[in-house]
């Protein structure tokens, strides 16, 4: 297996070098020849694999495990008992209500959510489920993504290309068909450790009625946000930018460009906050409401969703409704989740800042002076293409 991976990795690196050589041409119009020794290809491939594993592992732990727990946690209330001070002792004041005032003071305090901090969440997971709990649910996660990609590929080939909105169609269909598999992953992440295989965690077939709509909406939300962002790129005429135009920009032009880019960033953030995030939270909370009674949640979890869930034995569906799933996620929880995503973004960015210089240094060591020549030729080619580009 290791030999096979090494062979594939060597082929990928070699093919990438060949593609780069064909893509960049020198001033004479001839392809730039890039020669990388075998040990250099092995070093770059190994570093690429290690960095990919580190970033993927970190992203899964933070974005998929910790964030999912934050979507279902219901902060619990704690009872605090405090003894009255001596100077308030009713016996010292000849208080007639001795029995009433002699006991401790009872105070109901709302506990701080476990998922309010990343470190607190990881520490809680380790104490409840062991050191590998930060990757809990990884197997069903990989299985779901592979099967989702496979089903999407089939539907992409079956659905004619002339049908408008086909991306929404085959993406939502794939999500609906695999909704119970995704629910099994959610149950694996949010529940206490169990010997059950993940396919045994799948909710019954009857739950498909509750899962279909939120699964389809969540699948379409990402495409909707993307289409909105691309639409604003055209509205703001950012698609017409080129190197020659930027070279003629002055103070006011740069200010207007910065304003347009800021507007685009604002649109992307608003789409994420008001389209993508509610869709994700709604799906996760609907799936969490289907958690079996014999499975205990690893974080405090209100199964009744503040009384909005009617048990099946009382004639209800036993699951939270599509609209109530988001409404029951109060503003304090939404704020906590948004701040969590901000922290996750900063952590991922910081790790990439640390890893990128290592990769650049290895490329410089492997390629040597050829790297500087390649960059110069690439800049010349981009400049030439910019001069020939017309809008």
Residues 210 and 304 in one domain: yes
Judge if 208 and 300 occupy the same domain: yes
Q: What is the pLDDT of residue 174?
A: 95
Confidence of residue 83 (pLDDT cuts 50, 70, 90): low
| 260/234 same-domain check | yes
Is residue 1 scored above 50 in pLDDT? Answer: no
273 in the same domain as 232: yes
Number of domains forming the structure of the chain: 3
Q: What is the pLDDT of residues 263-314, one digit of tens each?
A: 999 999 999 999 999 999 999 999 999 999 888 999 999 988 888 887 766 6
Same domain, residue pair 69 and 102: no
**pLDDT value at 49 more than 90:** yes
pTM of the model: 0.79
Measured CA to CA, the distance from residue 371 to residue 46 in angstroms comes to 20
Distances (CA, A) of 74 to 71, 196, 326: 9, 25, 13
Instruction: Let me know whether 188 and 131 are in one domain.
Output: no
The answer on 212 and 255 residing in a single domain is yes
Q: Based on the domain organization, do 221 and 145 belong to the same domain? A: yes
* Backbone phi, psi, residue 33, to 5°: -85, 125
Same domain, 382 and 268: no
Domain that holds residue 86: 77-110
Q: How far apart are CA 378 and CA 24, in angstroms?
A: 6
Residue 379 pLDDT > 80: no
Q: What is the pLDDT of residue 251?
A: 82
pLDDT given at position 249:
80
Task: Please say whether the beta carbons of 126 and 133 come within 8 A.
Answer: yes
Q: How far is CA 124 from CA 7, 78, 139, 185, 222, in A?
A: 41, 18, 21, 20, 31
CA 281 vs. chain centroid, Å, equals 12
Instruction: Among 20-34, 94-108, 328-342, name the most confident range.
Output: 328-342
Question: At which of 298, 329, 360 does a domain end?
Answer: 329
Same-domain status, 253 and 348: no
Domain identity same for 156 and 222: yes
Which of 231, 326, 317, 313 is CA-nearest to residue 278? 326
Confidence of residue 377 (pLDDT cuts 50, 70, 90): low
CA distances from 134 to 111, 185, 203 (A): 23, 14, 24
Shared domain check, 256 and 218 = yes
For residue 325, give the nearest of 341, 342, 302 by alpha carbon: 302
Q: What is the pLDDT of residue 82?
A: 54
């Amino acid at each position: 297996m290791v030999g096979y991976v090494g062979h594939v990795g060597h082929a990928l690196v070699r093919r990438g070098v060949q593609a780069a050589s064909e893509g960049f041409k020198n001033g004479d119009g001839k392809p730039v020849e890039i020669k990388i020794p075998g040990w250099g290809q092995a070093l770059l491939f190994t570093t690429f694999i290690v960095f990919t594993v580190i970033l993927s592992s970190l992203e899964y732990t933070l974005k998929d495990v910790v964030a999912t727990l934050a979507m279902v946690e219901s902060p619990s209330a704690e009872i605090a008992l405090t003894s009255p001070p001596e100077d308030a002792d009713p016996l010292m004041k000849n208080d007639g209500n001795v029995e009433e005032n002699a006991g401790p003071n009872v105070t109901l305090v709302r506990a701080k959510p476990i998922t309010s901090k990343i470190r607190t969440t990881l520490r809680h997971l380790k104490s409840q489920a062991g050191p590998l709990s930060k990757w809990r649910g990884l197997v069903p996660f990989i299985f779901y993504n592979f099967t989702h990609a496979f089903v999407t590929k089939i539907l992409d080939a079956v659905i004619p290309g002339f049908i408008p909105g086909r991306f929404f169609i085959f993406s939502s269909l794939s999500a609906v068909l695999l909704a119970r598999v995704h629910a099994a992953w959610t149950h694996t992440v949010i529940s206490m450790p169990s010997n059950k295989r993940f396919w045994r965690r799948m909710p019954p077939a009857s739950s498909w009625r509750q899962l279909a709509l939120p699964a389809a909406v969540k699948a379409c939300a990402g495409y909707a946000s993307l289409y909105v962002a691309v639409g604003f790129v055209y509205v703001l005429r950012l698609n017409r930018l080129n190197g020659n135009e930027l070279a003629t920009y002055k103070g006011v032009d740069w200010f207007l460009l910065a304003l347009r880019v800021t507007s685009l960033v604002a649109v992307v953030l608003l789409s994420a906050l008001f389209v993508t995030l509610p869709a994700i939270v709604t799906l996760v909370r609907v799936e969490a409401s289907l958690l079996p009674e014999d499975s205990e949640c690893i974080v405090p979890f209100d199964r009744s969703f503040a009384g909005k869930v009617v048990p099946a034995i009382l004639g209800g569906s036993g699951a939270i409704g599509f609209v109530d799933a988001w409404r029951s996620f109060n503003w304090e929880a939404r704020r906590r989740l948004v701040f969590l995503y901000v922290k996750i973004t900063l952590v991922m960015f910081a790790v990439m800042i640390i890893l990128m210089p290592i990769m650049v240094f290895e490329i410089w060591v492997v390629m040597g002076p050829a790297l500087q020549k390649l960059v110069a030729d690439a800049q010349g080619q981009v400049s030439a293409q910019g001069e020939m580009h017309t809008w």
